[in-house]
Amino acid sequence: MLLVVAIFIFCAAIFFKITDIVVEGNNLYTDEEVVDASGLALGDNLLAVSRGTVAGRIQASLPYVEDVQVGRALPGTVTVTVRESDAVYAVYAANGTVWLMNSSGKLLEQAAPGASSYPWLVGVTVQTPQAGNQAACAETEALDAALTVIQLLESTDYLPKIVEIDVTKPYDIILRYESLYEIHLGGVDQMEYKMRYLTAILADSQIAEGGIIDLTLEKENAAVFKPWSSTVTVPETPEESAEESNGESTGETSEPTEETGEQTSSEGPEGAETGEEAGTSDNSAEN
């Protein structure tokens, strides 16, 4: 028996060596970077390859890699298939640096202070940031709320148009959509329904001029649209957002030029009925 085992080990060492390493699914990293991170080398014993160990090395070394699958094929091929993650938003760290994160809260890399091409997360400050680690912060409820919203936004076409996600108050989440809309979502309850509702609202040509979309559903389970009645200051860059991150984020208005404002109420994502209410208002954009 010992002789048989010895012969098998000898044959494995001689005949089952890695002769080819194939990398698939990579866009952000080169084949060479993935292979180097894997720790694999041509000539290694194919049967001695630990798939879990190889996957762990790659994920630890390459932050944008979200998942790794390692396959072996006789006589000597190893296939490494990676799934890369996308940076979804930017957030400040306690040390003043800016970091890019994905939709699961994983820190991907330190970014330039501007990072203006990403939605800005307000209300969360990352502690001891390190690329490849999950974000850790004191505002855990706020971060959880942000991730809930972001993961739902990813299934829509709106995420690239979101300038800011304000979770300073997790029960009063606010999205700023380009310079057009300030979207009040309330808390994370019924968030899937609110996102479907938002899709229906944004498809309505009556709100093309911009304004506040109130989706807190506090008024008879219906959304309310309030057009901008005067010039409104809406943060459009990370720098502007950062100035408000230390305090309550508000949409400011100048003094109104008219004494009446329009308010549109919609009955839900399935409803086609829209009514307008005209009356005296203070013409302020309340957050």
pLDDT at 115: 67
Domain residue ranges in the chain: 2-84, 140-280
pLDDT at 238: 43
Higher pLDDT, 64 or 281: 64
What Å distances lie between residue 51 and 34, 54, 210, CA to CA? 14, 5, 52
* Separation between Cα atoms, residue 202 and residue 204, nearest integer Å: 5
Average pLDDT over residues 172-183: 95
* Separation between Cα atoms, residue 63 and residue 177, nearest integer Å: 29
pLDDT at 252: 39
- Helices 51-61 and 31-38 cross at an angle (nearest 10°) of 120
Q: What would the pLDDT profile of 13-46 be if each residue is shown by its tens digit? A: 566 899 999 999 999 999 999 999 999 999 999 9
Q: What would the pLDDT profile of 57-70 be if each residue is shown by its tens digit? A: 999 999 999 999 99
pLDDT at 239: 46
What does the block give as tokens for 147? 């991730």
Residue 27 contacts residue 86 (beta carbons within 8 Å): no
By DSSP bridging, strand 120-122 and strand 162-166 are parallel
Q: What would the pLDDT profile of 121-145 be if each residue is shown by its tens digit? A: 999 999 999 999 999 999 999 999 9
Q: Comparing C-alpha atoms, which of 121, 83, 120, 89 is closest to residue 102?
A: 89
Q: What is the mean pLDDT of the chain?
A: 80
What does the block give as tokens for 55? 């996957």
* Separation between Cα atoms, residue 166 and residue 241, nearest integer Å: 9
Higher pLDDT, 150 or 269: 150
Fold of domain 2-84? Ubiquitin-like (UB roll) (3.10.20)
pLDDT at 242: 47
Residue 246 contacts residue 92 (beta carbons within 8 Å): no
